[in-house]
Amino acid sequence: MSILATQDTRVIVQGITGREATAFTKDMMDYGTRVVAGVTPGKKGQSIYGVPVFDTVRQALRAQPADASVISVPPALVKGAALEALENGIRLLVIVSERVPRRDTVEILEIARERGARVIGPNTLGLISPGRIKLGMAGGPVDDVRKAYTPGPVGIASRSGGMTTEVANLLTTNGIGQSTCIGIGGDPVVGSNFLDLIPLFEQDPETKAVVLFSEPGGVIEEHLAEYVTENRVRTPIVAFIAGRFVDEMPGVRFGHAATIVEGDRGSARGKIERLREAGIHVADAFSDIVRILKERI
């Protein structure tokens, strides 16, 4: 089964009339995702690829009940859009917008926690359960998605949206399918991270192993190592830590906003040590991910 969303999940898109959202709405629908409504204030009555557009989330849900929302609006409007979705009962938010103010993200996550909702992102390309559902921009157009992603037993969680597809393609090329693949988002503050997702993967009977693509910066990997040790996680986890050269350039940011190392805090070296101490398999080379998985599943 999928985690977070299934082929039966009904989806709205907030900001659907924007250029980016219009494009990925078509890609989602082509993949089979049930996009039932869109929301853009002032655009009620329009339609995008047959999807009706409403002024508010409340209007949209009255006409077309839904479980999840993909949010693609300007950064300053993300908090309002997210809170509107949460207040109207949406329990899964995928926020693809970038440069969301950290304070806004913290407020969104706090309210989501109070309401029992889950947030992916901000600054995420989304998620895919191969052959079932695609939320957001993950994988790009449907033909590319079908080449890179195939159904199977390995979950993927990645701090890089693009590398989510690269990992999936590596596995597919080597005959290993995927259960659910999630780009957690590249910002310093995001909703569901590795620590939140591993328990979900472990509860999924179809997921036999998980691949994590990580980067320097932050301490979530260290916390994950503690969780795996304390809870005796049985699902095999394979991690790849990119950007190890960043350890030699403290205080300098590369790529994502979260990829910044301060002394030993968040260093690739420190992450690798802690993960290995917890029994998590760390691939030295990207291609080693396949070898390790084949040894474990």
DSSP letter assigned to residue 122: S
SS3 readout for 256-297: CCCCECECCECCHHHHHHHHHHCCCEECCCCCHHHHHHHHHC
Q: 268 vs 150, 166, 263, 272, CA distance in Å? A: 30, 20, 11, 6
| Separation of alpha carbons 15 and 73, rounded Å | 5
Beta bridge partners of 209: 154
Q: CA 50 to CA 33: how far, in whole Å?
A: 14
- The H or E element containing residue 240 is strand 237-241
Tokens representing 69 are 């929302």
Residues near 53 by Cβ (< 8 Å), separated by ≥ 6? 16, 17, 37, 38, 39, 40, 43, 44, 45, 46, 47
Distance (Å, whole) CA 257 – CA 254? 8
| Catalytic residue from among 132, 159, 256, 274 | 256
256 is catalytic: yes
Q: What residues contact residue 152 under an 8 Å CB cut-off, 6+ apart?
A: 130, 171, 176, 177, 178, 179
- Whether the bond into 75 is cis, omega within 30 of 0: no
R_g over Cα of the chain: 19
Residue 200 CA: distances (Å) to CA of 8, 118, 164, 241, 245: 18, 12, 18, 22, 32
Distance, CA of 13 to CA of 191 (rounded, Å): 18
**Annotated active-site positions, please?**
256
